[in-house]
Structure 1
């Protein structure tokens, strides 16, 4: 990490060339992923006319994360993480080419190539996520890692806003050729990661011979660390119970008396709040009373969820969603920083794999929970109950994880920072 730009501020992660390369690579990859999600959804629905096919496409992309969780983290800890990421980006390029070539014919009715492609992509993401998460602490000094987390999260949120809109626009203009553009973006990401140079000591350490002990080491480590366990589980249950955005189509129509345009604006509102907050955190990161700030932000997320479920005003709902995105960004910032900085480098891949599984599962199960409770009580009451549940979880976790609540500074931060 000696490739610092003397012109850039030494207090910025962008002062380090490896981080800059990684950051731009992530933007290219996330843009491609978001564009692919929209284009694949439209293409599959054009061919099949079946909402079930859309659900199965999502399932095919998510299942590898569950089935491979014990392997993906182990790979991230055993091999050079940059090369793992490059291999996954190569798989993503292959998946985009399969979609491009298989869906070339507008008259085709075969869906199996799309399922094959998204399964390949899901497998690539299952291996890439823990490798990428555990590589970031090697790119900047420990004191700058929280800012690096904020910048990475901001890149993700910006791509999440731009990517779907760009994917839909390009699909409308050039059809299946959008997958070729996605492949090109993954190629750019591949090249940028390949250019990252790190000292040998920052390579992923070789772990012990593969065994049940090493495969389950990530779960055991999380269980043995109250701060890590508390941070991951708090986020899991908050997202699980507070999945209000899954009900936006119902709420927009029945509660806000709005159409699809307003529903789309509301869907983007959390990302707008998260993006603005992420950029702010990259300049003014949370330095003190880290644990308390985490609990306050999750509680604020619950309060805004309740407000979102109670109001009949689309304007108030949009404001609540912006705040929800903002406080969720602070929560993600603190959780990722604590988990990565509390974890030894030779364990980061396995711990990141478990954390990514919990987050992905909570998103999926949160949407299911919201849909189920909405079928019982209606969309508005379901959202309110979810917000109240989030506040209950915050209160319980304050009692169950006092070590997390009392964390003052991130590990590695100097007292004068």
Structure 2
């Protein structure tokens, strides 16, 4: 049996297994949360508010999370964040199963999860290179990570929709809480050689400033971050509007919502498999351009659909475009960034993607309440396509700056 390059590393195999199980639970919780909020409030705006509170800490705290990831053990940081995330999910489960849950409690616990994610996401992304024994396997590991994430995105909502319809949201939260045990065991079983990090008198604020100057002073990194921010602000709004489609437009329920999210997961899984089987990081710039167009067209098609089979088909393309955008951008950044600034740059990527998502969710919920969900998604799709065209025009000049880095790292051969 031929293993994918990333699986040659024992630590990465442990990480993949634990994360794969835990992410299925996380996607179940995400589905159950949006459905529970909509059931309690019947308000698109409240869907946006809850999503906003769960992700806004990433916008403000991710730079500090990046500094933390560059200064302290990423391995120990992840163990801590996973334990805290498990306790948060179990608290949500306890409230839901006892029937005591209220919207303010969901908002408060979503905010707690956001604080955890602000430190977890930069550490997680910066930790992956430490798991890989051969540097040439890194691009494959990042692509396999995306495949894992979206495999869970397929399985989690599908199972979650069925559980939600039959026994309620509380059991989705409970399964999620228990699933964290798998990733914690995987992290504890790893053999990690902790890196000696030199002591520094530089303040965290100064280190954040250094990270900003480095990232935004190099056009390829700056462009990827800004493009990711635009796509996150507009292209990901569909995640809080899908419950409205499931119930109001398609006339379904929790199972319909699960099917729609699972369909986007299938498209994302296909994109992840494609990236995992690519031989090189070279050429991913074109993939990022194409991804934004696929996402935009998928959103427009989904917005005009009034039949479940067609809606499921369009969600395939929404998921495909989303994962190609996120994973390709992540891979390019991980490849071209300097090692000593990896945590800070990946925190900026977290800030650009996860950090902008809450503003997009709040904006999407507010617009949907005023002009309707279909019109909101048409606007989102058009903006994604415009962003794709703009990036395509910049690509040749950015490629000239990246090629020397690829040549230095042996990714492409010098003439």
Give TM-score, length-normalised by structure 2. 0.82
Q: 2:412: which partner in 1?
A: 415
Q: 1:349: which partner in 2?
A: 343
User: Which blocks of at least 5 consecutive residues in structure 2 are unaligned?
Assistant: none
CA distance in 2 between partners of 1:391 and 1:210 (Å)? 41
CA distance in 2 between partners of 1:389 and 1:178 (Å)? 34
Confirm whether residue 138 of structure 1 aligns to residue 133 of structure 2: no
**Pairing 1:26-105 to 2, within 5 Å after superposition:** 26-39=19-32, 51=43, 57-102=50-95, 105=98
CA distance in 2 between partners of 1:298 and 1:38 (Å)? 24
CA distance in 2 between partners of 1:284 and 1:192 (Å)? 27
Match of 1:393 among 384, 387, 393: 387
Q: Check conservation: 1:79, 1:206, Cα contact below 8 A.
A: no
Match of 1:320 among 293, 314, 337: 314
Q: Check conservation: 1:86, 1:193, Cα contact below 8 A.
A: yes
State the shift of 1:148 in Å.
1.0
State the shift of 1:129 in Å.
0.6
**Pairing 1:139-288 to 2, within 5 Å after superposition:** 139-140=131-132, 141-167=134-160, 169-170=162-163, 172-173=166-167, 176=170, 179-201=173-195, 208-243=201-236, 245=238, 246-249=240-243, 259-260=252-253, 262=256, 264-285=258-279, 287-288=281-282
Q: Check 1:212–1:26 CA distance in 2 against 1; reply closer, same or farther (3 A cut).
A: same
Q: 1:3: which partner in 2?
A: none
Q: Check conservation: 2:23, 2:149, Cα contact below 8 A.
A: yes
CA distance in 1 between partners of 2:303 and 2:76 (Å)? 45
Q: Check 1:180–1:154 CA distance in 2 against 1; reply closer, same or farther (3 A cut).
A: same
CA distance in 2 between partners of 1:54 and 1:295 (Å)? 30
Q: Check 1:44–1:105 CA distance in 2 against 1; reply closer, same or farther (3 A cut).
A: farther
State the shift of 1:357 in Å.
1.8
State the shift of 1:277 in Å.
2.1
Q: 1:12: which partner in 2?
A: 5
Q: Check 1:182–1:204 CA distance in 2 against 1; reply closer, same or farther (3 A cut).
A: farther
State the shift of 1:355 in Å.
1.2
SS of corresponding position for 1:197: coil
Count of aligned pairs: 406
State the shift of 1:344 in Å.
1.9
User: Which blocks of at least 5 consecutive residues in structure 1 are unaligned?
Assistant: 1-6
CA distance in 1 between partners of 2:119 and 2:340 (Å)? 16
Confirm whether residue 123 of structure 1 aligns to residue 115 of structure 2: yes
Q: 1:4: which partner in 2?
A: none
CA distance in 2 between partners of 1:367 and 1:389 (Å)? 15
Q: Check conservation: 2:225, 2:349, Cα contact below 8 A.
A: yes
Q: Check 1:302–1:217 CA distance in 2 against 1; reply closer, same or farther (3 A cut).
A: same
Q: Check 1:121–1:250 CA distance in 2 against 1; reply closer, same or farther (3 A cut).
A: closer
CA distance in 1 between partners of 2:298 and 2:172 (Å)? 37
Q: Check conservation: 1:146, 1:337, Cα contact below 8 A.
A: yes
CA distance in 2 between partners of 1:154 and 1:386 (Å)? 25
CA distance in 1 between partners of 2:92 and 2:383 (Å)? 41
Q: Check 1:190–1:252 CA distance in 2 against 1; reply closer, same or farther (3 A cut).
A: closer
Q: Check conservation: 2:37, 2:103, Cα contact below 8 A.
A: yes
Q: Check 1:265–1:344 CA distance in 2 against 1; reply closer, same or farther (3 A cut).
A: same
SS of corresponding position for 2:321: helix
Q: Check 1:53–1:242 CA distance in 2 against 1; reply closer, same or farther (3 A cut).
A: closer
Q: Check conservation: 2:233, 2:359, Cα contact below 8 A.
A: yes
State the shift of 1:381 in Å.
4.3
Deviations 1:272-311 (A, max 9, x none): 1110221232123454433223223323333343444455
State the shift of 1:361 in Å.
3.5
